[in-house]
């Protein structure tokens, strides 16, 4: 969250990262209005250009190394990329994202979308102010913080459009296996597969009616120690800490009570608080009365039109505690598998190329050579579909090589039915999953 850090914290980080002479130069540049105290936008980018002005060319490699140290002090590594979760049924879920971090109840959908826009395009113009408003109250801000200031969370996020986008998304349903284009499903085989599915899979992957307008989807969590798929994404989400900067002093409600955001805080808290405040702040580009009306309207429609109410997460996970308010995030979500045929590669990190491969055990050094196992390396990027294994073609072309031995890329875990089933049974299950 480079947008959040304030000048005081940036100065402290500079002092830690550089020798006295360089730190003094950088701080001087900072003081000379290159970065004004109210300007919070892309502070780091500005620092980089400041740095280039300051650095002597002949010591550039050395300076770049220092810059890297500074970057590490300011940012958490984005080292656990995930496969894009499919978007149908999103509006009908109680919790979304692979680790179930985002509740859909109340104004959740707008909050979640605002968080996503912040991650990619939004410009944020957050400034300290003395004025309190309905927005600062909704956002959980109090004037009791360190400097007695409140923050105005103006941003380029168009909440109006996000609401429209979300209501359109609510009508999206999962695609059916297109028998006119792909080979016909063998119904006999699929029937046998259904039995296996009910036996081994349905306890976590609920069956839903794909086009029932009042369908509701309850996320079923499985904690990391039991699912055993790659832990990194969930761990980052639950444990990353960051500088809270201007958000310091805000109270944030969580399932176990209110948390006071301190100088160093959980990234999950900082992000939740930031999105909550952005949603609570009316769009600055509009004429004041329109702005106020739209804002109230968006919040009301999102909250009251939403049939998803706040509920407890289901499944197997550690509850949030006062000691670790984010313990429940150390788990992954199993969702209904309707439309799953169209969404390869599989698992949250996209580490398994096809449904058939997911039913094989992981390749270990002690695997018998006869045993088939999940590929430890495969090519991604093809649009050619493999209707047999159910996934995209994953070898024989120049694409991106996905290597499962890299950090966050493990294809281990989710061992359900991988060793108990015979090969013909695996194919029956695959056939059944085509019908979902
Ligand atoms: C104990 C709960 C549980 C059982 C039983 C279970 N799964 Fe899963 N499944 C999960 C979880 C949790 C995930 C997400 C894991 C991840 O992404 O790291 C998942 C992911 C998947 C995915 C990938 C989804 C995607 O969007 O990429 C498929 C396909 C799948 N399961 C199929 C099955 C099949 C087939 C069975 C039965 C043989 C089964 N599951 C049994 C919990 C379960």
Q: pLDDT digit string (tens) for 174-208? A: 999 999 999 999 999 999 999 999 999 999 999 99
Is the beta carbon of 340 within 6 A of some atom in ligand 1?
yes
Which of 14-28, 51-65, 91-105 has the highest average model confidence (pLDDT)? 91-105
**Least confident interval from 160-164, 307-311, 321-325:** 307-311
Q: Which atom of ligand 1 lies at the shortest distance from residue 348's CA?
A: 17
Give me the count of residues in the chain: 436
Cβ(222)–Cβ(316) below 8 Å: yes
Question: Cα(167) to centroid of ligand 1, in Å?
Answer: 28
332's CB contacts (< 8 A; 6+ apart) are 98, 99, 100, 221, 222, 224, 227, 229, 234, 348
Closest atom of ligand 1 to 417 CA is 38
pLDDT at 60: 56
CB 280 within 8 A of CB 138: yes
Evaluate: CB of 266 within 6 angstroms of ligand 1.
no
Q: What is the pLDDT of residues 399-429, one digit of tens each?
A: 999 999 999 999 999 999 898 899 999 999 9
Q: What is the DSSP string of 142-156?
A: -TTSTTS-EEEEEES
Supply the pLDDT for residue 152.
73
- In this structure, which residue's CA is closest to atom 23 in ligand 1? 347
On the question of a cis peptide bond just before residue 345, with omega within 30 degrees of 0, the verdict is: yes
Residue nearest (by alpha carbon) to ligand 1 atom 1: 204
Cα-based distances in Å from 148 to 246, 249, 252, 386: 12, 9, 17, 61
Does any ligand 1 atom lie closer than 6 A to the CB of residue 342? no
Q: How confident is the model at residue 34 (pLDDT cuts 50, 70, 90)?
A: very low
Nearest to 330 by CA among 203, 226, 181, 198: 226
Task: Calculate mean pLDDT across residues 32-53.
Answer: 53
Measure 63 CA to ligand 1 centroid, in angstroms: 47
Tokens representing residue 267 in the block: 């990234």
From start to end of 182-293, where are the E strands? 220-223, 241-243, 251-254, 257-260, 264-266
CA 417 to ligand 1 centroid distance, Å: 11
Say if residue 436's pLDDT is above 90.
yes
- Output the CA–CA distances (angstroms, integers) from residue 170 to 59, 338, 356, in the order listed: 55, 16, 30
Average pLDDT over residues 140-154: 67
Tokens 């997460």 correspond to what residue?
313
What the block records as the tokens of 116 is 């996503």
Please give the pLDDT value at position 41. Answer: 45
Residues 6+ apart with CB under 8 A from 307: 214, 216
Task: Confirm if 126 and 149 have CB atoms less than 8 A apart.
Answer: no
Q: Which atom of ligand 1 is nearest to the CA of 86?
A: 26
Query: What pLDDT does 285 receive?
Result: 55
Residue 390 above 80 pLDDT?
yes
Residue 366 Cα, ligand 1 centroid: separation in angstroms?
Answer: 25
Global pTM exceeds 0.75: yes
pLDDT above 70 as % of the chain: 74
Q: Is 194 in the pocket of ligand 1 (CB under 6 A)?
A: no
Confidence of residue 40 (pLDDT cuts 50, 70, 90): very low
Distance from the alpha carbon of residue 234 to the mean position of ligand 1, in angstroms: 16
CA pair distance 249, 261, nearest whole angstrom: 5
CA-based nearest residue to 243, from 39, 385, 43: 43
pLDDT of residue 398: 92
- As a whole number of angstroms, the distance between CA 185 and CA 434 comes to 7
Q: pLDDT: is 335 or 8 the higher one?
A: 335
Consecutive H or E run containing 194: helix 187-200
Ligand 1 midpoint to CA 334 (Å) = 6
pLDDT of residue 273: 74
Is residue 129 within 8 A of residue 246, CB to CB? The reply is no
The answer to whether the CB of 417 is under 6 A from ligand 1 is yes
What is the overall mean pLDDT for the chain? Answer: 80
**Which residue in 153, 122, 125 sits closest to 137, CA to CA?**
153
348 Cβ below 6 A of ligand 1: yes
What confidence score (pLDDT) does residue 38 get?
44
Ligand 1 atom 13: the closest Cα is on which residue? 334
Lowest mean pLDDT among 128-142, 391-405, 418-432: 128-142
Mean pLDDT across 291-303: 61
Q: Which candidate, 321, 330, 379, 335, places its Cα nearest to that of 354?
A: 379
pLDDT of 134: 67
Q: Is residue 318 scored above 50 in pLDDT?
A: yes
């Amino acid at each position: 969250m480079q947008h959040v850090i304030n000048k005081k914290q940036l100065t402290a980080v500079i002092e830690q990262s550089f020798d006295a002479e360089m730190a003094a130069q950088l701080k001087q540049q900072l003081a000379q209005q290159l970065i004004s105290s109210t300007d919070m936008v892309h502070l780091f980018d500005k620092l980089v250009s400041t740095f280039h002005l300051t650095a002597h060319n002949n010591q550039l490699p050395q300076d770049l190394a220092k810059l890297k140290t500074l970057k590490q002090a300011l940012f958490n590594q984005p080292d656990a990329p995930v496969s894009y979760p499919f978007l149908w049924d999103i509006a009908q879920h109680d919790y979304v994202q692979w680790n179930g971090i985002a509740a859909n109840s109340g104004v959740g959908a707008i909050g979640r979308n605002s968080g996503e826009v912040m991650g990619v395009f939004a410009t944020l113009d957050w400034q300290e102010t003395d004025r309190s408003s309905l927005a600062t109250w909704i956002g959980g801000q109090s004037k009791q913080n360190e400097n007695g200031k409140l923050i105005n969370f103006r941003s380029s996020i168009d909440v109006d459009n996000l609401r429209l986008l979300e209501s359109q998304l609510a009508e999206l349903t999962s695609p059916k296996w297109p028998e006119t284009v792909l080979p016909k499903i063998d119904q006999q085989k699929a029937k046998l597969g259904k039995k296996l599915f009910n036996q081994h899979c349905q306890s976590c992957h609920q069956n839903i009616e794909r086009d029932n307008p009042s369908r509701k989807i309850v996320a079923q969590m499985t904690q990391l120690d039991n699912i055993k798929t790659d832990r990194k994404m969930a761990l980052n989400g639950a444990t990353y800490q960051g500088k809270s900067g201007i958000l310091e002093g805000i109270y944030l409600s969580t399932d176990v009570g209110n948390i006071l955001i301190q100088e160093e805080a959980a990234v999950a808290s900082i992000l939740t608080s930031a999105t909550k405040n952005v949603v609570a702040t009316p769009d600055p580009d509009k004429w004041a009365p329109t702005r106020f009306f739209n804002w109230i309207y968006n919040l009301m429609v999102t909250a009251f039109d939403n049939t998803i109410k706040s509920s407890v997460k289901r499944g197997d996970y550690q509850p949030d505690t006062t000691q670790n308010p984010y313990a429940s995030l150390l788990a992954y979500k199993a969702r209904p598998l309707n439309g799953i045929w169209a969404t390869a590669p599989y698992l949250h990190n996209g580490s398994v190329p096809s449904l058939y491969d997911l039913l094989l055990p992981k390749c270990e050094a002690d695997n018998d050579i006869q045993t088939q196992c999940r590929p430890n390396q495969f090519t991604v990027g093809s649009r050619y579909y493999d209707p047999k294994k159910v996934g995209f073609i994953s070898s024989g072309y120049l694409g991106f090589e996905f290597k499962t031995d890299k950090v966050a890329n493990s294809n281990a875990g989710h061992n359900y039915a991988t060793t108990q089933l015979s090969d013909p049974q695996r194919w029956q299950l695959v056939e059944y999953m085509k019908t979902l």
